[in-house]
Amino acid sequence: MYTRRHFLKDSSLTAFGLALSNVLYATTAGEKHILLRNGWQVENIGDIAHTPGMLQLIKQYIPKAKVTFWPHYHVLPAEEVDLLKRDFPDLKIVEGKLDAAGNVPEEVAKVMDTADFFLHGSGPATIGWAEALAFKKRTGKPYGVYGVTYGLYGTPENEMLNEAAFVYFRDTISLELAKKSGIHAPIMGFAPDAAFAFKGKNDRKAKAFLEVNNLTKGQFLCCIPKHRATPVWLHPLKGRPFDKTRNDRNEAMMEHDHGPLRQAIIDVVRQTNLKVLIVAEDLTQTELGKKEVWNKLPEDVQQKTVWRSELWLPDEALSIYLQSSGLFSLEMHSPIMCIGNGIPALVARWQEQSSKGIMWRDIGLDDWLFDFDNDDELQKFAPKVLEMAKNPTTFRKMAQTAQKRVTEFQKNTMSILKKSV
């Protein structure tokens, strides 16, 4: 069976070809055409979830809008196209890269010319800054930015942000830093990451997995490990060289970061009737979960702990999270998808991560965010996981309260997008 894992390992595969010759970009009366730049990478289900999350927001708040998705990453797997087309059957997709002179392929140019607005979707940074500027230069039409972190990767984003119709940052640390850096777009504010709006599900796959692994609704928690810095050299499609400095730091912090996960699992298994499912958000985390978490658990705890050996798509992940009693994670976007659907989720962060974790405070979940570089907070992590396991109803209500806060932010910010298109 040809799986996602096989696809990612096969570096000889090229981008999924999409014939555009028969695609009509004309809109009917009353429709507006949005060109969405998203799709930052395919090795992480959080990055995958940005796009359908943004599409869901547009569908909900601007239902008459027509959207063309322009993916950033050089590969768009067929199964991700299927995921998008299943929930957004009218979606058009165009592929092509901006060259050094700021020009785009003919098919992208056609879409630009018919689009009313360019939307830079949520993501780790303003990765599509050059494409936004190229769109405005070519068409004279506006663009906006929805849900990014500011100041990462040396991105030359300031000009692009200043010329935007609006800029929404996904954490208030980014918002304040941007203001201090002189960013002065006419509308600036906080908007939760678009992955909060992800609603895709694959109940069939989830049901099969849960049955095989004897996991029952409400009777297990999910757990996600993470390297200090993602070892992107293990992403076969990226072709990045080995980074010894990053790898050494990862190894040095491995026990520090994963010991609390193991302790939380031990406490939950031995003090409650719940099981624990160890899963991955990024391709590099599947083996990490086995090596640093499951393999090092006591035998009696291993018997009530399941390690998932393969990465999944976000729809299957969400279907399983919905069956769980909650999530504790060193990653960010699975917790985002959980809170967006009323599922409790505890998050740990550290210096090597961006300021995105601060959005947990921005939506009122201060007590569910733990800085692992702070010994006091690190020590509180496992007890809080146990508290979540023992008080599912209380934690579910807290998650739903945060979900309502997120929905209110989405409603207000999407009204600005609707006015801007």
- List, as one string, the DSSP characters of 360-403: HHHTT-GGGEEETTSHHHHHHHHHHHHHHHH-HHHHHHHHHHHH
| pLDDT reading at 329 higher than 80 | yes
Residues 215 and 144 in one domain: no
Q: What is the mean predicted confidence (pLDDT) over 248-270?
A: 98
Q: How far is CA 15 from the centre of its chain?
A: 21
pTM of the model: 0.92
Range 376-399 average pLDDT: 98
Query: Across residues 22-41, what is the average pLDDT?
Result: 76
Which distant-in-sequence residues (6+ apart) come within 8 Å of 307 by Cβ? Answer: 278, 289, 290, 293, 294
Same domain for 299 and 208: yes
Please tell me the distance from the alpha carbon of residue 286 to that of residue 102, in angstroms, as a whole number: 39
Answer whether 314's CB lies under 8 Å from 49's CB: yes
DSSP class per residue in 83-145: HHHHH-TT-EE------TTS---HHHHHHHHH-SEEEE--BSS-TTHHHHHHHHHHH---EEE
Instruction: Kindly report, residue by residue over 98-135, the tens digit of the pLDDT.
Output: 998 889 999 999 999 999 999 999 999 999 999 999 99
Band (12; pLDDT cuts 50, 70, 90): very low
The structure tokens listed for 361 are 């405070």
Q: Count CB-CB contacts under 10 A for residue 112.
A: 22
Tell me, yes or no, whether 242 and 174 share the same domain.
no
pLDDT, one tens digit per residue, over 135-163 is 999 999 999 999 999 999 889 999 999 99
Q: How does the average pLDDT of the chain come out, rounded? A: 93
What CATH number should be reported for the domain holding residue 347? 3.40.50.2000
Say whether both 218 and 182 belong to one domain: no
CA dist 220 and 268 (Å) reads 9
- For tokens 């040809």, name the residue: 2
Q: In what order do the strands lie in the sheet with 117-120?
A: 92-93, 66-71, 33-38, 117-120, 143-148, 167-169, 188-190
220-224 β-sheet, strand order: 305-307, 275-278, 220-224, 327-329, 345-349, 369-371
Please give the tally of structural domains in the chain: 2
Please check whether residues 151 and 240 belong to one and the same domain: no
Same domain flag for 163 and 291: no
Q: Are residues 356 and 374 in the same domain?
A: yes
**Which residues of 150-228 form beta strands (DSSP E)?**
167-169, 188-190, 220-224
Rounded CA separation 35/108 (Å):
10
- The H-or-E segment that residue 33 falls in is strand 33-38
| Residue 327 φ/ψ, nearest 5 degrees | -135, 140
Same domain membership, residue 211 and residue 190: no
d(CA 358, CA 332): 10
- pLDDT-based confidence at residue 13 (cuts at 50, 70, 90): very low
C-beta neighbour count of 413 within 10 angstroms: 22
| Structure-token pair, residue 10 | 């096969």
**Segments forming the whole domain that contains residue 413:** 4-195+407-420
Output the six-digit token pair for 279. Answer: 């899963």
Per-residue pLDDT of 179-201, as tens digits, reads 999 999 999 999 999 999 999 99
Between CA 48 and CA 69 the distance in angstroms is 13
Does residue 327 sit in the same domain as residue 239?
A: yes
Residue 154, pLDDT score: 87
Report helix, strand or coil for 34: strand
- Please give the Cα distance from 230 to 249 (Å, whole number): 11
**Are the C-beta atoms of residues 378 and 370 closer than 8 Å to each other?**
yes
Beta carbons within 10 angstroms of residue 270's beta carbon: 12
Calculate ∠ Cα 219-225-229, nearest 5°.
Answer: 160
DSSP single-letter state for residue 277: E
Instruction: Give the pLDDT of residue 31.
Output: 87
Whether residues 216 and 189 fall in one domain: no
Give the pLDDT mean for 325-339. Answer: 98
Judge contact between 132 and 164, C-beta under 8 A.
yes
Q: Are residues 359 and 374 in the same domain?
A: yes
DSSP 8-state secondary structure symbol assigned to residue 282: B
Do 256 and 237 share a domain, yes or no? yes
